[in-house]
Amino acid sequence: MPNNFINFDQLSQNDLQGIIDRAISLKKEHKSGLINETLKNKTLAMIFDKSSTRTRVSFEAGMTQLGGQSLFLSEKDIQLGRGEPITDSAIVISSMVDAIMLRLSSHEDIVEFSKHSSKPVINALSDESHPCQILADLMTYQEYRGSIKGKKIAWIGDGCNVCQTYMQAAAIFDFELSIATPSGYEPSDIFIEKYKKNIIFFENPKDACRDADIIVTDVWTSMGQELEIKQREKAFKGFQVDQKLMDQAKDNALFMHCLPAYRGKEVSTEVIDGKQSVVWSEAENRLHVQKSLLLYLIEG
Ligand code: CP
Ligand code: NVA
């Protein structure tokens, strides 16, 4: 069975830390102009049923920088979108490439694909989680502030896929996660039950942000929920990360957001474009950490 990266906690803390440390070295090497063609003649298939800027560009550029190739396969352009079974698609595609990255609405479909794939499978965002994003967030924190162990992270807003991956990361990297969501927008009960050890829930975002080392948020309406946009904007009133919330946190607290962001909704312009925000490093680090992940999965 190939190694996969579908759920954040399927790799050990040691392996995840190794991927982050190597990403920091790869970033330095890349910036110094060093050429690393370890994945020469290797191919990554990238299957998307949702939009993407960062994930697509970072995986594509990452493969090129490592000397390999990538194939952008929009679901509607391949037979998968016309009803070819996931099983058959997985057998065929994995017989031709060296790794497969999937951004599919259904987490179960990614798991199903992996069961029939002879090559490593990467979850590039599902309705349940976004493990590649959290690798980049952890790398970014390490670059700015060092170890995240014992730190306090405040998640403000929707208990979505990205929030749920933070819950998994809190258990593995042993940090405290304070979550404030409007009622009805909490993470799934399964995640709450499984990862409750490192998590404290708050009704009031202000309380969740007190003494935090990072404040992190995401869109109020994730991809696929567009019909709920009006109702969500009403429900999330009071959950915008603004300077008042940032002021509850430690003086050296960082602001993170996986992007895309909507200024004036989940975050104020002054926060996302302010000096505590590290969103551009966070986005760039998708490139470096995924190169490291590809090396880990493909080289073994
Ligand atoms: N953060 C993130 O995954 O961005 P994209 O949707 O642009 O890939
Ligand atoms: N929660 C967001 C993340 C986008 C990167 C979504 O699923 O649309």
The pLDDT tens digits of the residues spanning 190-206 come to: 999 999 999 999 999 99
What's phi and psi for 2, nearest 5 deg?
Answer: -70, 160
Cα of 99 vs centre of ligand 2, distance in Å, is 23
Give yes or no for residue 58 CB within 6 A of ligand 2.
no
Residues 128-137: what's their mean pLDDT?
98
187 and 64 belong to one structural domain: no
Q: Are residues 97 and 165 in the same domain?
A: no
Is residue 261 domain-shared with residue 153, that is, in the same domain? yes
Q: Does residue 264 lie within any of the structural domains?
A: yes
158 and 215 within one domain: yes
CATH code: domain of residue 94 = 3.40.50.1370
Residues 161 and 70 in one domain: no
Pocket test residue of 60, 74, 259, 280 for ligand 1, highest count of atoms within 8 A of CB = 259
In this prediction, residue 162 has a pLDDT band, given cuts at 50, 70 and 90, of: very high
The ligand whose atoms approach the alpha carbon of 283 most closely is: 1
- The reported pLDDT for the residue numbered 171 is 97
Nearest CA to ligand 2 atom 2: 222
Range of the domain at 194: 132-282
Query: To the nearest whole number, what is the mean pLDDT of the chain?
Result: 98
User: 72 and 119 share a domain?
Assistant: yes
Answer yes or no: do 153 and 268 share one domain: yes
Residues 143, 94 share a domain: no
The pLDDT, as a whole number, for residue 46 is 98
Tens-place pLDDT, residues 245-289: 999 999 999 999 999 999 999 999 999 999 999 999 999 999 999
Residue 133 a catalytic site member: yes
- Domain tally for the chain? 2
119 lies in the same domain as 55? yes
38 occurs within a structural domain: yes
- The DSSP element (H or E) to which 44 belongs, if any, is strand 43-48
Ligand nearest to the CA of 290: 1
What are the tokens at 261? 């962001």
Going from the C-alpha of 104 to that of each of 71, 86, 141, the distances in angstroms are 16, 11, 28
Q: Of these residues, 54, 56, 103, 257, which one is catalytic?
A: 103
Q: Is residue 115 within a helix (H) or strand (E), and if so which, with residue range?
A: helix 107-116
| pTM of the model as a whole | 0.98
Q: Does residue 3 sit within a domain?
A: no
Distance of CA 58 to the CA centre of its chain: 12
Query: Looking at 209, 258, 288, 290, which residue is catalytic?
Result: 258
Q: Does residue 136 sit in the same domain as residue 277? A: yes
CA of 123 to the centre of ligand 2 (A): 13
Clarify whether residues 115 and 225 are in a common domain: no
Residue 300 clears pLDDT 80, i.e. is over it:
no
